[in-house]
């Protein structure tokens, strides 16, 4: 099952930094940002990671967890995360299974054998439904746009309404 806006996001389990295993079904109850990026320690990917880091507390305040995803190894992710002190986990999709589910692999040239990740971000609501996607991302102001969308989802949480109690 591929990811489609307005539909439940594909279920997955993946290995992430800090020895964590990310089980998508266990994340329900909070919004999820999955941002796919081409490669650790490249200028654009570093800038994007630092932008998510700079707004991390605001994402948390909007009940939103952030995960970065690339095809790099866990070892590469650990070094990247530690070097830039990223406060969120990075998922190692070395086989490209998540990339396939979210349709983010693109060949840059016809003769290219291994497709690369097209920088893309997905916002999934607390019920597990894909609400927004950004493809062919340009980093400038992108993370702010994602945060605004996450905050809008967070604002949609309905308050608990208690039934009126009847007095005798």
Residue that has been written with the tokens 């980093």 in this structure? 139
Angstrom distance (rounded) from CA 87 to CA 63: 15
99 is catalytic: no
Q: C-alpha angle 73/3/135, rounded to 5°?
A: 75
List, in sequence order, every residue forming a beta bridge with 89; answer none if it has no partner. Answer: 67
Q: Which of 9, 32, 45, 130 is catalytic?
A: 45
Which residues touch 58 (CB under 8 Å, ≥6 apart)? 147, 151
- Rounded CA separation 112/25 (Å): 35
* Cα R_g (the chain), whole angstroms: 17
Instruction: Please identify every residue annotated as catalytic.
Output: 45
């Amino acid at each position: 099952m591929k990811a489609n806006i307005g539909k439940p996001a594909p279920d997955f389990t993946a290995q992430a930094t800090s020895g964590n295993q990310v089980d998508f079904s266990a994340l329900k109850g909070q919004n999820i940002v999955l941002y796919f990026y081409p490669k650790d320690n490249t200028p654009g990917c570093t800038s994007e990671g630092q932008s998510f880091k700079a707004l991390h507390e605001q994402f948390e305040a909007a009940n939103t967890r952030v995960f970065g995803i690339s095809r790099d190894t866990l070892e590469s992710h650990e070094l990247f995360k530690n070097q830039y002190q990223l406060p969120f986990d990075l998922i190692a999709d070395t086989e490209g299974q998540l990339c396939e589910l979210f349709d983010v692999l693109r060949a840059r040239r016809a003769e290219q054998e291994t497709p690369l990740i097209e920088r893309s971000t997905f916002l999934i609501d607390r019920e597990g439904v894909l609400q927004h996607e950004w493809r062919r991302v340009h980093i400038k102001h992108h993370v702010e746009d994602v945060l605004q969308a996450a905050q809008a989802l967070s604002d949609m949480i309905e308050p608990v309404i208690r039934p009126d109690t009847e007095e005798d």
